[in-house]
Chain A
Amino acid sequence: MATATSPAGGQILESAERLRRGLGISFRDQIVEAIYEDARAIATGAVRQARPAGPTWDAKLDRILTSRIWGIPIMLLGLAVVFWLTIVGANYPSQAIALVLFRIEGAAVALFDAIGAPWWLTGFLWHGVYRGLAWVISVMLPPMAIFFPLFTILENLGYLPRAAFNMDWLFKRVGAHGKQALTMSMGLGCNAAGVIACRVIDSPRERLIAVLTNNFVPCNGRFPTLILLGIVFIAAAFPPSLATFAAAGSVVAVVVVGVLITLVVSWILSRTALKGEASSFTLELPPYRRPNIGQILYTSLIDRTLFVLYRAVIMAAPAGGVIWLLSNVVVGGESLAGWVSGFLDPLGRSIGLDGVILLAYIIAIPANEIVVPTILMTYTGAGMMIEIDSLAELRALLVGEQGWTLLTAVCLMLFSLLHNPCSTTIWTIYKETGSAKWTTIGALMPLATAFIVCFAVAQGVRLLL
């Protein structure tokens, strides 16, 4: 603050104060008004605008995309199409990348053997660290490289704000912000990206709700688990002609459950820890635009895909090492993985799972992509993460040898949907909120939800049957 030392300075401050009193309370409005008036004058002088005869294209599109009847079905259909393209489109490149990366692993192992490196060094570096890395890249990169550009196209078209507009009524009821619909769809690609996207919500309370609940929409990394379970357990109960639809339907059902849980948890949060009135909601619906290809590729590939992949890779490499150690360090005739999963088994059984699955989820905190390979590795006693291509073989292992039931599959799907966010997302929550407290809540609240829901389902079903 300026202090008046000279008499003149004091006089100036005094008259400034007097003038301020005389301004009245609306002088701020008048300043903004004057700015807008200037802008309007400049615009009318410089821009010639043709008056369209009928309703414009934008108005016609809005009438359909936000209509009472078609608005929400179109939105759901759009989401389903994006899903389908991502799952189907990612399949082939994933296999191709895996083939190349695992061939490199084979060559490197052969080289290490040739120069006489100790088996544990080869195993740790190549079957552990490198294999974890290769697995995450091959499973994660293709879906993200498809999902994020598709998402960015919708964003560029101007459709996403309309989706938020359509959904806001629901979010208002639970004390959240309509733009949470956007951050949730973003979370389908990657929860870390979804958490970053919460920046678009400008009121702090609603933003925090969106950050804390983003984990309840399953990301790409969790899709493989859901799809696998859908195919092996749910689709098997249907005639072969309907099997693929049943599998896809079960995945969609899991997403819907996730959305419901998001709404419920948002409602609870806005009545407990984040109590408060819904603050100002304003949402601009920009004109529809032709997507800009260069911009789409840049924002989706550089900003989103590579950024997320970079973080995941940093986390996955050490996890690969840990997995290898767990399955190859043998104490008292049993591997560490065996010991830990044996210890976790009672807890796992109580929520409809088993110790091996819980162990896989602990190891997979850095990246959910490696859950299934880790489970298979521990079941078969292989020294490294593996994949089983044949469905019959997989069924024989899970159902025949390990005694999985439909209940195990449902509980695993729910656990996969609700459990704690991956370490990349936890780190992102910390970066975005800057608070250790909210990060802890963001990590533990979903975990608690997962345990409670799975316990209730498992015990409830066992009681009834």
Chain B
Amino acid sequence: MTAALGLFLTTLAAALALALFWPRRGLLARWRQTHQLADRVLIEDALKHIHARELRGTLATPESLAGKLGVSVRQALEMIERMEEGGLAHSTGRGLRLTPSGRKAALRVIRAHRLLERYLADELRMPLEEVHATADRREHVLTAEEVDELEAQLGYPQQDPHGDPIPTSSGALESLEATALTDWPVGRPARIVHLEDEPPEALAGIVSAGLVLDMQIEVRQVGKERLVVWDGEQERELAPVFASNVFVAGLSHPVQPPVRLSSLEPGEAGRILALRCEGLGRRRLLDLGLTPGTVVECAFPGPLGEPTAYRVRGALIALRKEQGDEIEIEPVSAARRE
């Protein structure tokens, strides 16, 4: 009887020990994995922060790091210590700097982040102000091979959906030459080249003001409470605090109102200048022969007003208004058609 009980208890203990200590599957190993992941996420986010501060010219400090990551200053100091031990960063009199291997690690995470944003915005059609937060969560779990594969599948994009350059697999990062909209002179034509994605609330404000990447604008008026810009068609207003998150570059010609394919009446024609969409939608349009330079004629609208049929290279293609809005054209008079 006691022998049987002993055998039972030993088996139970052995089973329990196995469940706890089984390599990679056991509870202990699982706990350590989550812990390590959380740890790695913190370090990678810290590296990103130091990198961003280096680019801006104001170096990161333990306090800024603690604020950014939402940890105590003491925890931030511990992390800095660990990064210094690992040869990723070092403290200088003015703040934190990355070592070459730290920069490489930071760029790897930024690369994953921006490629993920591209994927979320183009392929899943997620709203622009939501892609950043999702990419922030997923960027840490992708391996370098998976990131390379994602890049190839997306067709080697060079910018994320906010206009930030994507680092290459070898770690090269193009610098972006742009000026904040608040520092741009009134009346000089400009093109939006970058929308800062942090904080997301600011980006949401910019998006709801109707400003998008690649838009041609001109600052009309700068005030304390609002900044008025002209996009060739209408005036748009936004608060200076949002405008400081919009970056622009010079434009060689005055701002022209874009003409969209959807504005054509039956019988009118236009030559395609550019497609203002990415991902699946863009590929579909290109596949149908709607390439820049092509002359498109508006054929007839549907019985309920939408969609509209267009004549493209001899074929009849129906598009909804949203697709027509994404195609920028220059009007062509009927006589000059091929």
Contacts and interface: CB of A to CB of B under 8 A. Distances in A.
Interface of A: 1, 13-14, 17, 20-21, 25-26, 28-29, 32-33, 36, 40, 59, 62-63, 66-69, 71-72, 165-166, 168-170, 172, 178, 202-203, 276-287
Give the most central of A13, A26, A283, A287: most B CB within 10 Å.
Answer: A283
B306 A284 contact: no
B293 interface: yes
A281 B302 contact: no
Given A1-B145, A68-B303, A168 B291 contact: no
4 shortest interchain CB distances as A-B pairs = A169-B304, A71-B303, A280-B281, A285-B316
Given A33-B292, A62-B300, A169-B302, A282 B156 contact: no
Contacts of B211: none
Interface stretch (B44-52, B166-174, B246-254): B166-174
B291 A282 contact: no
B324 to A, nearest CB: 10
A283 B309 CA distance: 9
A169 B306 contact: yes
A67 B148 CA distance: 51
Nearest to A28: B155
A282 B313 contact: no
A301 to B, nearest CB: 30
B337 interface: no
A282 B155 contact: no
A178 B293 CA distance: 29
A13 B288 CA distance: 33
B281 A279 contact: yes
Contact of B320 (A14, A20, A21, A281): A281
B228 interface: no
9 contacts: A17-B168, A21-B168, A25-B157, A32-B286, A32-B287, A69-B303, A168-B307, A282-B284, A287-B316
B166 to A, nearest CB: 11
Contacts of B91: none
Contact of A169 (B168, B170, B288, B305): B305
B67 interface: no
Contact of B303 (A21, A67, A202): A67
B318 interface: yes
A283 B318 contact: yes
B181 interface: no
Given A1-B148, A40-B313, A282 B318 contact: yes
Nearest to A168: B307
Nearest to B285: A282
Contacts of A178: 307, 318
Contacts of A29: 275, 286, 291-292
B280 A279 contact: yes
A166 B302 contact: yes
A37 to B, nearest CB: 9
Contact of A25 (B158, B170, B172, B292): B158
B224 to A, nearest CB: 36
Contacts of B317: 282-285
Nearest to A177: B320
A284 B315 contact: yes
Contacts of B315: 284, 286
Nearest to A25: B158
A67 B302 CA distance: 7
Given A178-B318, A283-B319, A284-B315, 12 more contacts: A25-B157, A32-B287, A33-B293, A36-B289, A168-B307, A277-B125, A280-B285, A280-B323, A282-B317, A285-B316, A285-B318, A286-B315
